[in-house]
A and B are shown apart, each in its own frame.
Chain A
Amino acid sequence: MARITVNVDGMNFTHEVEPRTLLVHHLRETLGKTGTVVGCDTSNCGACTVLVDGESIKSCSVLAVQADGAEIETVEGLAAADGTLHPVQQAFHEHHGLQCGYCTPGMLMRSVCFVRENPEPTEDEVREGLKGNMCRCTGYQGIVSAVMAYSQTAGEQEAGR
């Protein structure tokens, strides 16, 4: 067992973990952060994507012990404390970027990171940027529209600061 501390959505958690525990299982099972979900066992689907120190990573491809000391952002920390949706969440809502919602947490976290890296993407760049995240419901059209809209909102907010 190894003792690790992670900061998840602004709160510190210290636990003993088995060295083989994946970060996604640590988040879900030990910390009860079930907003992040598991879709496959080959790191293909992207449903478990979270931000680790600002980088979007598939939390099934990282051991919990590797995240010791890291700052982790999950879907559960995106909205404001008063419930106001984050602009990326609002964009997915307005552009029908989700149906069943299972891939949505990973899609949102990947989108946040992607737009930070590429604030003015083309539609093709958005599609490339999301290629590690699978959605079986939407055909991606709503998702791509949402990310395009979000990038504009994010850009305007940046300009307004």
Chain B
Amino acid sequence: MTTTSDPTVAEDEQRPEIGRARLRREDERALTGRTRWTDDMTLPGMVHLSVLRSPVAHATITSLDTAEAARAHGVVGVWTGEDLPEQGAMPTAWTVSDDMKTPPYFPLSVGAVKHVGDIVAVVAATSKEAAEDALELIDVDYDELPVVVDPLAAKQEGSPLVHPDLGTNVCATWGLDSVTLGTGGDAAAVIREAESDPDQVVVRRTLRQNRITPAYIEPRSIVVDPNAEQVTMWSATQVPHIVRILMSMTQPIAEHELRVVAPDVGGGFGGKLQFTREEALVLLVARRLRLPCKYTETRSESMQSSHHARDQVQELTLAAKRDGTITALDVDLTADMGAYLGILTAGIPLLGGFMFNGIYRVPAYSFHCTDVFTNKTMTDAYRGAGKPEATFGIERMMDELAVELDLDPIEVRRRNWIRAEEFPYATAAGLTYDSGNYDQATDKALAMFRYDELRAEQQRRREAKDPVQLGIGVCTFVELSGLAPSRVLGGLNYGSGGWEHSTVRMLPTGKVEVVVGTTSHGQGHATAFSQIVADELGIPFDDIILISGDTASSHKGMDTYGSRSLVVGGMAIVGAARKVVEKARPIAAHLLEASADDLEFVGGKFSVKGTTSGVTIQEIMLSTWLAHDLPDGLEPNLDADFTFDPENFSYPTGTHLAAVEVDTQTGRVRVRDYVCVQDVGVIVNPMIVDGQVHGGLTQGIAQALYEEIQYSDEGQLTSGTLADYLVPAAPDVLRYRTDTTVTEATTNTLGVKAVGETGTTAAPPAIVNGVLDALRPLGVTDITMPCTPLKVWTAIHEASARATEGQVTA
């Protein structure tokens, strides 16, 4: 057995693990094709399911004949909503307000369809091909109904109703304001006053958040084996624990009868944070047939039916003094729910409601949100979930304020942001930011970016009327991450706690199993969490293994979303590891014939203070397992459970700067340079952090420049494949320049903050601010995302036409 005092151990191995760019232990299986994705699974006797989806956006089903399909080659069963009376309604986990309306939403639609891709029937057959062939034999008559796709139109009197029985398309209204919270002044009153005060300005803008989709590369897949003591479901999900509990609360199966496993899962980004109709359907059919069943979506099905995100109209009013100091902010939001409610749908805009203040001192704040139904696929969480939308709103407004007052966009931010000495800082939205230093990160970013040189180049290009204009985009942001303190979630009517659970188990030979309730789909949990445990227990990294993603072995948990894995899950692990050490202490005292109080635990070894001899925790474990000589009354194990409920959210921050070149002749936008300096607290594994930042930035840039889910006025999805929904490829993005500053989180013992959502939060406003910065001299004041060449070109030409018209009228 090795001990840390062993001179043969390389010095390198005695360094703390936290902070080391450990190469990931997850990689080898993926690199060699030995991963196990759900769709890789085949079970004896397994049948394959395919579902029939609505080709129209809104209709009554007048007839549905499955007889011919049921007789087709290889088919073992066909079901419609009426054939599955045991199906339960799909749940939503977040009732945001007393007035919230929850429309009926079943695994199989009954009597009507509400969006393209809505599920009408399911076929089970001996092969996927046979199931797909049989779909074509199902005869459906649709009586088409009027459709509404625009969320503002949906709010209007007389608009077609998505759910006529509800009598309205308004799902819920929700708000907060600093007067009610006792955190600040009356925003409406301040804005009214500012309007007639020559020493103040009022800036009003309406901004749109484009509808996008997570677009994980692994399609969702589900396999259910009903023929075991526990019915076992393998699903490409981020949330096996949530799927298990919601399945048992809504469908005909008890919680203890169901085991849910998330094996290797290919991406998530919030897109696999859902309890899906397809999961319910596979379970229902497998139990009917008493056969293992598999369903794997096609990409086109994924685009139609896995949830979309963002899709908001933001009406923003910002009041400020002439020196740039903000006096009030009012936000009136219309958020598109789509046709149904997923588990978090209505809560996503609410999360954003807390973040429209950004990193700024806002003395008066009001937020009002209207959630509306449309005949589109439902929206729900996507990397950032509500916060990128809010950050876009405030960061666009800061630029508008800068233009209004003719101030540098950095300067206007600097005059408003919370200073390092003001932390912890209570915001007007009711949050308490624990720590940060915005000057430090911004100064570092400006230096890396060579801000002044770029401004000079921009000026030269403007004067030379260069067809390619340079724009500089700024975003200084804070994120609300690490969901979440349970009592806060309770106060928001969120139907779940925010704690996380871990068990740390010492094995007889001194190795360690770490069990945790968060699940990984690319974030490198097995590596990062092992690094944490290695430091806590003072044992080698390679002696630790992580167990997660299976409700049978990782029996409690709240899963992975909202950047909670490290800041909540990681802290549960720390708590459990520290309990293991305390369990070992009296045994060590016994073995060393010393008082427990005289022992110190350093580098994996208990020793009497001031001496070098001692016993390692791994040696203690072997002795505990033998149990030949334990102190009276001690259990012969070194296992410990810990459930961590955070006291606060986590608030990573940073400054993003984009240099964008806009070709005014073609409308093409090229991001020439992108610098971000972020404060994500103490860093466990810098390589993994970089990877998370790069991935998030790419998705954020994609929202700004490339991606949009589009519907026709008839509710037809016109961007339903990866051929017409532009996920960026390698040539579409650049090499980012990133760095960090560190202010430790004060709300957890490791000082860590979150990182996964920072890129999608900060990049969209940085890019759009940059595009507009390039084009403002041409009279362009807004372009909605994504800033495609056509939109940019059109905006330039419309601005030029307006200017010409102005000259003519003058």
Contacts of A31 in B (CB 8 A): none
Nearest residue (CB) in A for B266 is A102
Q: How far is the CA of A116 from the CA of B341 in the complex (A)?
A: 50
Complex: how many Å from CA A144 to CA B736?
12
A42 at the binding interface (Cβ < 8 Å): yes
Residue of A nearest to B26 (CB): A101
Closest-by-CB residue of B relative to A108 is B31
B264 interface neighbour in A101, A131, A140, Cβ under 8 Å: A101
B691, A142: Cβ atoms closer than 8 Å: yes
Report whether B691 and A128 are in contact in the complex, using a CB–CB cutoff of 8 Å.
no
Question: Of B35, B694, B721, which contacts A101 at CB under 8 A?
Answer: B35
A135 and B699 alpha carbons, distance in the complex (Å): 11
Q: In chain A, residues 110-134, which have Cβ atoms closer than 8 Å to a Cβ of chain B? A: 123-124, 126-128, 130-134
On chain B, the residues within 8 Å of A101 by CB distance are 26-27, 29-31, 35, 264, 266, 522
Q: Is B641 part of the binding interface, using a Cβ–Cβ cutoff of 8 Å? A: no
**How does the 8 Å CB contact mask read for B710-747 relative to A, with 1 for contact and 0 for none?**
00000000000111000101110101100000000000
CB of B217 within 8 Å of the partner chain? yes
Interface bits B23-60 vs A (CB < 8 Å: 1, else 0): 11011111111111101101000000000000000000
Q: Compute how far the CA of A138 lies from the CA of B729 in the bound complex, rounded to whole angstroms.
A: 11
Asked whether B521 is an interface residue with its Cβ less than 8 Å from the other chain, the reply is yes
Docked complex Cα distance between A38 and B266 (Å): 11
Cα–Cα, bound, A78→B219 (Å)? 25
With a CB–CB cut-off of 8 A, which chain A residues contact B218?
37, 39, 100, 102
B649 adjacent to chain A (CB < 8 Å): no
Taking the complex as formed, is B619 at the interface, i.e. its CB lies under 8 A from any CB of chain A? no
B688 contacts the other chain (Cβ, under 8 Å)? Answer: yes
Q: How far is the CB of A49 from chain B (nearest CB, A)?
A: 12
Q: How far is the CB of A51 from chain B (nearest CB, A)?
A: 13
Contact partner of B727 (CB less than 8 A), chosen from A20, A123, A134, is A134
A150, CB-defined interface residue at 8 Å: no
B523 at the interface (CB under 8 A from A): yes
Minimum CB–CB distance from B725 to chain A (whole Å) comes to 9
Residues of B within 8 A of A36 (CB): 33
CB pair A35–B730 under 8 Å, yes or no, is no
What is the distance, in angstroms, from A122's C-beta to the closest C-beta of chain B?
12
Interface centre among A28, A35, A100, A133 (most CB of B within 10 A): A100
> Known contacts A85-B32, A141-B735; is A99 also within 8 Å of B523 by CB?
yes
Judge if B690 is at the interface, Cβ distance under 8 Å: yes
- A96 lies within 8 A of B217 (CB): no
Q: Establish whether residues A139 and B31, one from each chain, have CB atoms under 8 Å apart when the complex forms.
A: no
**Does A64 interact with chain B (Cβ within 8 Å)?**
no
Closest Cβ–Cβ distance, residue A121 to chain B (whole Å): 12
Quick check: B32 and A100 within 8 Å, CB to CB? no
Contact of B265 among A18, A100, A140 (CB under 8 A): A100
CA A104 to CA B240, docked complex, whole Å: 24
Known contacts A34-B37, A75-B33, A44 near B522 by CB under 8 Å: no
CA distance A39 to B593 in the complex (A): 62
Complex contact A42–B33 (CB within 8 A): no
A37, A74, A124: the one within 8 Å of B37 (CB): A37
Q: Which residues of B contact A33 (CB under 8 A)?
A: 33
Shortest CB–CB separation between residue A156 and chain B, in angstroms? 21
Question: Residues of B contacting A85 with CB < 8 Å?
Answer: 28, 31-32
Instruction: Name, among B29, B523, B694, B697, the residue most crowded by chain A CB atoms within 10 Å (CB to CB).
Output: B694
A123 to chain B: which residues have CB within 8 Å?
Answer: 735
Contacting pair A143 B730 (CB below 8 A): yes
Q: Which residue of A lies closest to B723 (CB)?
A: A42
Q: In the complex the two chains form, is A136's CB within 8 Å of B31's CB?
A: no
Q: Which residues of B contact A28 (CB under 8 A)?
A: 40
Residue A65 at the chain B interface, CB threshold 8 Å: no
Q: How large is the interface on A (under 10, 10 to 19, 20 to 34, 35 or more residues)?
A: 35 or more
Neighbouring B residues of A105 by C-beta, 8 Å: 33
What chain A residues lie within 8 Å of B29 (beta carbons)? 101
On chain B, the residues within 8 Å of A94 by CB distance are 23
Instruction: Answer yes or no: B215 CB below 8 A from chain A CBs.
Output: yes
Taking a contact as CB atoms under 8 Å apart, the answer to whether A44 and B722 are in contact is yes
Known: A37-B37, A130-B730, A141-B736. A136 touches B687 (CB 8 A): no
- Neighbouring A residues of B23 by C-beta, 8 Å: 93-94, 96
What is the size, in residues, of chain B's interface with A at 8 Å between Cβ atoms? 57
B800 at the interface (CB under 8 A from A): no
Q: Is B30 in contact with A140, judged by CB distance below 8 angstroms?
A: no
- Decide yes or no whether A137 CB sits under 8 A from chain B: yes
Residues on A with beta carbons closer than 8 Å to the beta carbon of B36 = 34
Quick check: is A47 within 8 A (CB to CB) of the other chain?
A: yes
Q: In the complex the two chains form, what is the Cα distance from A103 to B698 in whole Å? A: 16
A57 contacts chain B at the CB level, 8 A cutoff: no
Shortest CB–CB separation between residue A134 and chain B, in angstroms? 5
Residues of chain B with a CB closer than 8 A to A20's CB = 129
Q: In this assembly, does B614 line the interface, its C-beta being within 8 Å of a C-beta of chain A?
A: no
- Asked whether, in the complex, the Cβ of B32 is within 8 Å of the Cβ of A45, the reply is no
Are A139 and B694 closer than 8 Å at their CB atoms? yes
**Partner pick for A93 among B27, B39, B268, B522, CB 8 A cutoff:** B27
Q: Which of A37, A45, A79, A102 has the most CB of B within 10 A?
A: A102
Q: Judging by beta carbons under 8 Å apart, are B730 and A131 in contact?
A: yes
Query: How far apart are the CA atoms of A133 and B730 in the complex, in Å?
Result: 8
Indicate if the CB atoms of B31 and A102 lie closer than 8 Å.
no
Contact (Cβ within 8 A) B217 A103: yes
* Binary B-proximity of A22-35 (CB < 8 A = 1, otherwise 0): 00000011000111
Q: How far is the CA of A141 from the CA of B676 in the complex (A)?
A: 15
Is there contact, CB below 8 Å, between B31 and A89? yes
Q: B87-103: which residues lie under 8 A (CB-CB) from chain A?
A: none
- Residue in A38, A42, A96, A130 whose beta carbon sits within 8 Å of that of B39 in the complex: A38
Asked if residues A140 and B31 are in contact (CB atoms below 8 Å), the reply is no
Is A76 in the interface zone, CB < 8 Å from B? yes
Distance of B328 from chain A, by nearest CB (Å): 37
Q: How far is the CA of A93 from the CA of B524 in the complex (A)?
A: 12
By a CB distance below 8 angstroms, the chain A residues around B646 are none
- The answer to whether A139 and B736 touch across the interface, beta carbons within 8 angstroms, is yes
Q: Are A104 and B730 in contact (CB under 8 A)?
A: no
Report the bound CA distance from A34 to B697 in whole Å.
31
Known contacts A39-B299, A93-B23, A100-B522; A137 and B33 CB within 8 A of each other: no
Point out the residues of chain B lying under 8 angstroms from A136, CB to CB. Answer: 215-217, 267, 269, 695, 699, 727
Q: B496 contacts the other chain (Cβ, under 8 Å)?
A: no
Of A45, A127, A132, A140, which one neighbours B217 at CB under 8 angstroms?
A45
**A72 in the interface, Cβ–Cβ < 8 Å?**
no
- In the assembled complex, the CB of A48 is this many whole angstroms from the nearest CB of chain B, namely 11
Whether, in the assembled complex, A41 has its beta carbon less than 8 Å from a beta carbon of chain B, the answer is yes
Which residues of A have CB within 8 Å of B690? Answer: 96, 141-142
A39, B695: Cβ atoms closer than 8 Å: no
A98 is an interface residue with CB less than 8 A from chain B: yes
Residues of B within 8 A of A45 (CB): 217, 299, 722
User: Can you name the residue of chain A whose Cβ is closest to the Cβ of B700?
Assistant: A139
Bound form: Cα–Cα A77–B364 in Å:
63
A40 contacts the other chain (CB 8 A): yes
Chain B residues positioned under 8 Å from A131 (CB to CB): 729-731
Name the A residues within 8 Å of B215 (CB-CB): 136
Q: Looking across the interface, which residue of chain A has its beta carbon closest to that of B31? A: A89
Given contacts A42-B723, A139-B736, whether A89 and B32 have CB atoms under 8 Å apart is yes
Give CA–CA (A18, B723) in the complex, Å: 27
| CB atoms of B695 and A138 under 8 A apart | yes
B298 located at the interface, meaning its Cβ lies under 8 Å from any Cβ of chain A in the complex? yes
- B299 and A42 form a contact (CB under 8 A): yes
A-B contact pairs, 14 of them (CB 8 A): A28-B40, A96-B690, A100-B218, A100-B522, A101-B27, A101-B35, A101-B264, A101-B266, A134-B217, A137-B691, A138-B698, A140-B730, A141-B735, A142-B691
B-to-A contact residues, CB < 8 Å: 23-24, 26-37, 39-40, 42, 129, 215-219, 264-269, 298-300, 521-524, 687-688, 690-691, 694-699, 721-723, 727, 729-731, 733, 735-736, 759
Q: A76-B34, A100-B521, A139-B696 are in contact. List 4 more A-B contacts (CB 8 A).
A: A76-B33, A89-B31, A96-B23, A96-B691
Give the interface of A toward B (CB within 8 A). Answer: 18, 20, 28-29, 33-42, 44-45, 47, 74-76, 78-79, 85, 89, 92-94, 96, 98-105, 108, 123-124, 126-128, 130-144
